[in-house]
Amino acid sequence: MTRTTRLAPVYPNAGITRPTTAIAARCLAILLALLWLVLAAGDTAAQTLYLSPDVPADPDGIFLLPWDIVRHDAGAAAPYSSVLAVPGDPAVTAIHRMDRAGHWLFAIGAASDLAGSLGGPAEARDVVRYSAGTFNRFFCGGLVPLASGFVPAGTRIDAVYLDGGDAGALIVSFDTPTPLAGIGLVSPSALVRYEPSGAGGCSGWTAVGIELDVAVVATGFVPASANVTGADRIGGDLWLLALDVPGDLAPLDATAPPTFLPGHIIYYDPVSGDFGLFEDLQLSGVPGWQISDQVDALSCGGNPGAIDPATTPLRLRKSGASVLFDWSPGGCSAGAENYGIYEGEIATLRSGVYDYTRIDCDDAGADAMELVSPAAFDSYYVVVPYSSCGDEGSYGASFDYASGTLERPVSAAGRCAAAQTLSVCP
Ligand SMILES: [Ca+2]
Ligand SMILES: [Ca+2]
Ligand SMILES: [Ca+2]
């Protein structure tokens, strides 16, 4: 079973609280109970990942090329589609979908000016930003000062993501053991954290340490020579990883380690120390992902962000015994791919406690509109955006003169997503 949507997440938020008059009726309670049964039975949204193959791949009657950024929708009739073909046809070795819609980071396997799209060639130790039609170098490994994490020629970046939103830290992996000043020899199985140095430009980064080394946390299961070829993170929780070699990963049951193969997207949970299967691309499409093809680049759909009540008001309208919710879609982040509706009791809120729980975890039809049966008490509602990888965003902020502005807590009673990422709007 994949850890995917089932355990995971629904997220972010929009926080708007609106009291609605309770429609007290026993039949409503029954309706609500039925609704819960439906939710429990499978109100989960499809999971979306982005990836790139290392060689031309044909997992489902569509040729995916090494310079394609490919969207994968688990369970869809046509699960694979190319969303961006990088000009000049370089092998794309790392991708990250940014929070700003239509923006990407990527790395390439060999120097290229992207068919003239860049002023000069980007190197394999660089990260390029695609900004809705234009390309710029975002990270220049060969221009970062020596003491700040200069990347030597010959090293390729083979995994990348941002931590903390589009202006956050840059996390990269290399394809070969690479010495970095102040850190030492960085293994291909490791992720390195670069913080913005404040100097600006593509050289304005400082390497501050190892974010994760898979060969270290999975000692005995992952050989030190293993290479992380794709990575992203869900909240402060799971890492999603692709590796270049088949292998066994630290299991729940040490006597029966799960086997990782090409096409398997795995997760690592730093709290439990467990590895597991997040997505099995071999089972997606006909004939499915082939064992001869590597997942060379991997990204979730961005941080879910927040819904700003000032610009995206939540409206509730009575519709028979139900309430029709509608809100303006598109929180501040491209990662707001779905929404959860949470319901709490006003009487409890008066005592300073948020008791909201999920009542709807899928914006069916992706129309920013849902018909919901309200509880039989005076209630309030919060809409929280979440990403397709199972990451909730903000539940909105509250304000009082004693505490100032505070992020509302995640639901303690039941959530649409297991993890939460709070990020600055791009
Ligand atoms: Ca890669
Ligand atoms: Ca690597
Ligand atoms: Ca809907």
- DSSP assignments along 169-221, one per residue: EEEEEESS-EEETTTEEEPTTEEEEEEE-SS-STT-EEEEEEEEEHHHHTTTT
Among the bound ligands, name the one nearest to the CA of residue 294.
Answer: 1
Among the bound ligands, name the one nearest to the CA of residue 161.
Answer: 1
Among the bound ligands, name the one nearest to the CA of residue 372.
Answer: 3
Q: How far is the CA of 364 from the centre of ligand 3 (A)?
A: 4
The residue-averaged pLDDT of 157-163 equals 97
Q: How far apart are the C-alpha atoms of 29 and 19, rounded to whole Å?
A: 18
Q: How far is the CA of 3 from the centre of ligand 1 (A)?
A: 22
Among the bound ligands, name the one nearest to the CA of residue 226.
Answer: 2
Q: How far is the CA of 256 from the centre of ligand 1 (A)?
A: 28
Among the bound ligands, name the one nearest to the CA of residue 186.
Answer: 2
Q: How far is the CA of 386 from the centre of ligand 3 (A)?
A: 14
Q: How far is the CA of 22 from the centre of ligand 1 (A)?
A: 53
Q: How far is the CA of 189 from the centre of ligand 2 (A)?
A: 5
Among the bound ligands, name the one nearest to the CA of residue 93.
Answer: 1
Residue 397 has pLDDT above 70, yes or no: yes
Q: How far is the CA of 158 from the centre of ligand 2 (A)?
A: 5
Q: How far apart are the C-alpha atoms of 24 and 378, rounded to whole Å?
A: 9
Split at pLDDT 50, 70, 90, the class of 39 is: very low
Percentage with pLDDT > 70 across the chain: 84
Q: How far is the CA of 390 from the centre of ligand 1 (A)?
A: 22
- Alpha-carbon distances, residue 372 vs 127, 263, 282, 324, 369 (angstroms): 45, 39, 37, 6, 10
Tokens for 384?
Answer: 């929280």
Among the bound ligands, name the one nearest to the CA of residue 54.
Answer: 1
Query: How confident is the model at residue 250, as a pLDDT?
Result: 58
Q: How far is the CA of 81 from the centre of ligand 2 (A)?
A: 25
DSSP-assigned beta bridge partners for residue 394: none
298 by DSSP, 3-state: which? strand
Q: How far is the CA of 81 from the centre of ligand 3 (A)?
A: 24
Model pTM? 0.85
Q: How far is the CA of 360 from the centre of ligand 3 (A)?
A: 10
Q: How far is the CA of 395 from the centre of ligand 1 (A)?
A: 34
Query: How confident is the model at residue 345, as a pLDDT?
Result: 97
Top mean pLDDT of 135-139, 250-254, 332-336, 392-396 is at 135-139
Q: How far is the CA of 173 from the centre of ligand 2 (A)?
A: 4
Residue 242 has pLDDT above 80, yes or no: yes
Query: How confident is the model at residue 113, as a pLDDT?
Result: 98
> Does an H or E element contain 40, and which?
helix 26-42
Max CA-CA distance within the chain?
71
Average pLDDT of the chain? 84
DSSP-assigned beta bridge partners for residue 280: 264
> Does an H or E element contain 360, and which?
strand 357-360
CB of 94 closer than 8 Å to CB of 67: no
Q: Which residue has the higher pLDDT, 165 or 25?
A: 165
Q: How far is the CA of 371 from the centre of ligand 3 (A)?
A: 8
Nearest Cα to Cα of residue 304 among 392, 400, 370: 392
Among the bound ligands, name the one nearest to the CA of residue 173.
Answer: 2
Nearest Cα to Cα of residue 282 among 95, 68, 82, 57: 57
Please, what's the b/e burial string for 22-47 (b: 16 or more CB within 10 A of its CB; e: otherwise)?
Answer: ebeeeebeebbeebbeebeeebbbeb
Domains and CATH numbers, the chain: 4-45+304-420 (2.60.40.10), 55-293 (2.110.10)
Among the bound ligands, name the one nearest to the CA of residue 329.
Answer: 3
Among the bound ligands, name the one nearest to the CA of residue 299.
Answer: 1
Q: How far apart are the C-alpha atoms of 251 and 259, rounded to whole Å?
A: 9
Between strands 306-307 and 12-14, the pairing is parallel
Among the bound ligands, name the one nearest to the CA of residue 363.
Answer: 3
Tokens for 27?
Answer: 């039949």
Residue 426 has pLDDT above 70, yes or no: yes
Residue 256 has pLDDT above 80, yes or no: no
Query: How confident is the model at residue 307, as a pLDDT?
Result: 79
Query: How confident is the model at residue 253, as a pLDDT?
Result: 55
Q: How far is the CA of 177 from the centre of ligand 2 (A)?
A: 9
Split at pLDDT 50, 70, 90, the class of 18 is: very low
Residue 225 has pLDDT above 80, yes or no: no
Region for residue 321 given its phi and psi (left: phi exceeds 0; alpha: psi -120 to 50; beta: otherwise): alpha
Map tokens 């670069």 to a residue.
Answer: 194
Q: How far is the CA of 342 from the centre of ligand 3 (A)?
A: 15
Residue 9 has pLDDT above 60, yes or no: no
Q: How far is the CA of 143 from the centre of ligand 2 (A)?
A: 20
Least confident of 212-216, 250-254, 284-288, 358-362: 250-254
Q: How far is the CA of 170 from the centre of ligand 1 (A)?
A: 15
Residue 36 has pLDDT above 50, yes or no: no
